[in-house]
Amino acid sequence: MSESTARQPFGSTVVPIIIAVLLTEVLMYNLGSKYNPISDGFNIPNFLIDLGVFVAIAMAATWLYQRVFKLLRRDTANKE
């Protein structure tokens, strides 16, 4: 079901995490969340909300990144 590491795209973990970090910050800012676990103290409900949003965006970004890579790989294979 999953591809071997040799067939996975370069940055298949790093790129979605960077996208997730940026989109989580933008989304939480637009929702009015001003929670910072470092300076505001550790608040478990707010931390779980932030973590849940991050994981959801990271999963979506990973799935989308893999799909785009497969489409690009299929297009280049058809041209050869």
Let me know if residue 6 belongs to a domain.
no
* Full domain range(s) for residue 24: 14-79
Q: Is residue 3 part of a domain?
A: no
For 31-45, give one letter per residue: b (16+ CB within 10 A) or e: eeeeeeeeeeeeeee
19 in a structural domain: yes
Residue 1 in domain: no
Q: Quick check: is 2 in a domain?
A: no
Q: Provide the residue-wise pLDDT of the chain in tens; the chain has 80 residues.
A: 455 555 655 667 888 889 999 999 899 889 888 777 778 788 888 888 889 999 999 999 988 888 887 777 776 666 65
- Residue 5 in any domain: the answer is no
Q: What is the pTM of this model?
A: 0.70
Asked if the structure places residue 49 within a domain, the reply is yes
Q: How many CB atoms lie within 10 A of CB 62?
A: 17
- The tally of domains found in the chain comes to 1
3 alpha-carbon distance from chain centroid: 19
